[in-house]
Structure 1
């Protein structure tokens, strides 16, 4: 990020405010304690010191790996990737390592003497979690992040007058992307370690007159249940990414935004794309409901068929692909992988099945891996979930194997669910197994998973 040395306020946490000039000063103090081109683990709290550590790494040609606040994960990944330094909250420090720097309740630890051997372009390691909760790390370059950050700022028209509040963790690609774009725009970020269910969150939200709010579908679902729009008196921009939101809820927010002269953006992305790929212009939020819109600046978005041929006809399903400088270098599962160069070569097959309409607006149909053959018929698990959400109250998660679709449901009306699915899909009821569950397990970003992450 290009961070200007100004007195504008960048970070706010409770009663503490930090200017861009102070952010750069502290970041340089952190960098002065570490070796050049080092690998730094940053345990991801929504806190001023963590942002300072991230900027210290990014602006000084180091590599950062963003980690969840979880002892098992911290231990595993710092060893797996031979992490040299770790930035962690003092009270959560469980490691017997040398403390070389302290800042407002956080410490920088020297874990080991290691000379990082990595591709010169490598800037950041971010994990990506699949529906089973398994994680792998994406290798992102400086160019990847800067290119994507510029494109987002342009599309959302972000300026130094914007102010947001943290709703997502820093180790989640969308959460970190919000930080990147606001730093780049010389805007302000209110940091809260409280959830949206906590009074402290809304006290900060109102006190500092937040005018932008970002979230994943789960965030907006919970905001709806809390009737949170009553607090949005200063909000001018709302943006959703991180998964497909129910069309009814999309329409509710789109209508709210239209009636109250606010901009509601729907965005689509993947960690492998640094992470945002497309956006739906607010003026189409109702007429193109359910669409992921069109590609961000300097991204070529297209579809391919099963033979890898480009699809040139509208309303034809295929795998969504992109070509862009924001496409990651590749994956990493060990320290040795950090030496690899650009494996993706600017091309990403997203694994999402999509189509585009006559006006060029894209719609994601489902994941390539989330289709089953049931009695010879190709069935989308995402479509099954959409049918249920449109007709029943509750949450649903579909999975299974060929010839049997299993649905986890927080709605107890199992027979009615089976009847509806049979009618809608024209499949025998024996194709469906419905299991009642009190709550659908989710990861820290609100995405459903088939097993709870440890």
Structure 2
């Protein structure tokens, strides 16, 4: 069994600083871990309602270190969905913000630490947990899906080592939590920095709040991470005009970034002595599978780059045959130690072993160029037929966002109908003209609908099925 991190090795280093004034060394973190885990049975399942606060952080680090299995859940879920998940997975314990205790009065509190409480459920654990199962993470954010990804200790440790290698993370780094802890990318930032003895700057404030930037500056953050939506907001905030001398690395994953935004932040990074890394990943591969080396960011606009150290990419056609020609689209397949065990739909699946054996068919369509750098073109399930033509909805959406940089839109559709959802009619006539001039499809196939907002999960990804259910 692979061990996650060595807290004793960095005992005098600062492990975490939060925006409430708390400051813990690795030695103090280890002490809190021992106290918390003395109340939890070995190899038990704990449902953690995770937010970016000290109690949640200590719980996550402690559970993984002591081989207790956390199932990470968004506290933003409705009470009904929370209880459905509890019934589905039958955890022995809940680790939750203390103010949530009244929602679960049928269970008894056994321990409290900072802002979190450990609650014992009425379930008696009679199921087997696979020996290498470390963590359960959802891919769906706040939608309350019962399907979780089963991540192993090897998955988490190997992925962290690869990321540490190419980002050159050291104990001197200070990473701010700009993403939710229950989201695979946000959790990966914590994993990589704890594994190197670095410092986590812990805040639940968003990048749109002044308190976030005050906390970042006061504590000399060196690293900030975000999804495409994060960088859309950072552009609107005119980040290049800010005085951020301590910041040295910006990382992006969680979806395809537009070529314009990639260029914008790369040029900002170069001019300010920072580095900007575009990356590619999925929860099913623990976190990250590939990255674009910073020095290639302007030379390879739109690329997801190369596999992480220890990983491998290749493409297959619709018959499963490997594609050897460059600029030929196929499904991207990834191989590496970070490919997760498989899915769980409930407690019955916690005994399952490794179902993927280090190989993941990503569901993303891609091609590679002459230098074997990879480019994502869309998703397998984001294709429709329009009057006999195969149409990639992601390509249309990307084209619109690159042409209209301030347009908040989402593109959905069904056969013979493309629906562009927009939050403002400011560009209505321009979008229609753009579609007719640049996209060689019959305008009768187009419908534009005004919506109050584009539904997104907490990681900023558009919830297409919600739009489709309401509008198609």
Q: State the TM bucket, normalised to the shorter chain.
A: over 0.9
Mapping of 1:54-453 within 5 angstroms? 54-69=60-75, 70=77, 71-93=79-101, 94-96=103-105, 97-112=107-122, 113-129=124-140, 136-229=147-240, 230-392=242-404, 393-412=406-425, 413-450=427-464, 451=466
Say whether 1:11 aligns with 2:16.
yes
The 3 A distance-change label for structure 1 pair 227 and 72 is farther
Q: What do residues 103-126 of structure 1 show as CA deviations (whole Å, max 9, x unaligned)?
A: 112110001232441211111100
The 3 A distance-change label for structure 1 pair 151 and 59 is same
How many Å apart are 1:132 and its aligned residue?
8.4
How many Å apart are 1:384 and its aligned residue?
0.4
For residues 300 and 404 of structure 1, the distance between their equivalents in structure 2, rounded to whole angstroms, comes to 37
The 3 A distance-change label for structure 1 pair 416 and 224 is closer
1:3 and 1:20 in contact (8 A); partners too? no
1:140 and 1:329 in contact (8 A); partners too? yes
The 3 A distance-change label for structure 1 pair 187 and 95 is same
For residues 343 and 236 of structure 1, the distance between their equivalents in structure 2, rounded to whole angstroms, comes to 39
For residues 77 and 377 of structure 1, the distance between their equivalents in structure 2, rounded to whole angstroms, comes to 42
In the alignment, which residue of structure 2 is the partner of 1:35?
41
For residues 247 and 61 of structure 2, the distance between their equivalents in structure 1, rounded to whole angstroms, comes to 27
Say which SS state the counterpart of residue 369 (structure 1) adopts: coil
Say which SS state the counterpart of residue 134 (structure 2) adopts: strand
For residues 271 and 171 of structure 2, the distance between their equivalents in structure 1, rounded to whole angstroms, comes to 25
For residues 228 and 415 of structure 1, the distance between their equivalents in structure 2, rounded to whole angstroms, comes to 31
The 3 A distance-change label for structure 1 pair 133 and 319 is farther
The 3 A distance-change label for structure 1 pair 436 and 286 is same
For residues 27 and 133 of structure 2, the distance between their equivalents in structure 1, rounded to whole angstroms, comes to 26
In the alignment, which residue of structure 2 is the partner of 1:50?
56
Q: What do residues 29-58 of structure 1 show as CA deviations (whole Å, max 9, x unaligned)?
A: 111101111001111111122121112211
1:144 and 1:325 in contact (8 A); partners too? yes
2:141 and 2:183 in contact (8 A); partners too? no
How well do the aligned residues superpose, as a CA RMSD in angstroms?
A: 1.7
For residues 331 and 60 of structure 1, the distance between their equivalents in structure 2, rounded to whole angstroms, comes to 23
For residues 144 and 456 of structure 2, the distance between their equivalents in structure 1, rounded to whole angstroms, comes to 9
2:335 and 2:358 in contact (8 A); partners too? yes
For residues 247 and 255 of structure 1, the distance between their equivalents in structure 2, rounded to whole angstroms, comes to 12
How many Å apart are 1:345 and its aligned residue?
1.5
Say which SS state the counterpart of residue 402 (structure 2) adopts: helix
1:241 and 1:269 in contact (8 A); partners too? yes
1:133 and 1:443 in contact (8 A); partners too? no
For residues 173 and 104 of structure 2, the distance between their equivalents in structure 1, rounded to whole angstroms, comes to 39
- When structure 1 is superposed on structure 2, of 49-58 and 297-306 the one drifting more is 49-58
1:182 and 1:189 in contact (8 A); partners too? yes
- When structure 1 is superposed on structure 2, of 357-366 and 411-420 the one drifting more is 411-420
Q: What do residues 244-290 of structure 1 show as CA deviations (whole Å, max 9, x unaligned)?
A: 11211111100011111211100100000001000011001111011
Structure 2 spans left out of the alignment, 5+ residues? none
Say which SS state the counterpart of residue 396 (structure 2) adopts: helix
Structure 1 spans left out of the alignment, 5+ residues? none
2:148 and 2:344 in contact (8 A); partners too? yes
2:16 and 2:202 in contact (8 A); partners too? yes
How many Å apart are 1:333 and its aligned residue?
0.9
For residues 298 and 152 of structure 2, the distance between their equivalents in structure 1, rounded to whole angstroms, comes to 36
2:368 and 2:375 in contact (8 A); partners too? yes
**How many residues in Structure 1 have an aligned counterpart in Structure 2?**
453
How many Å apart are 1:135 and its aligned residue?
5.9
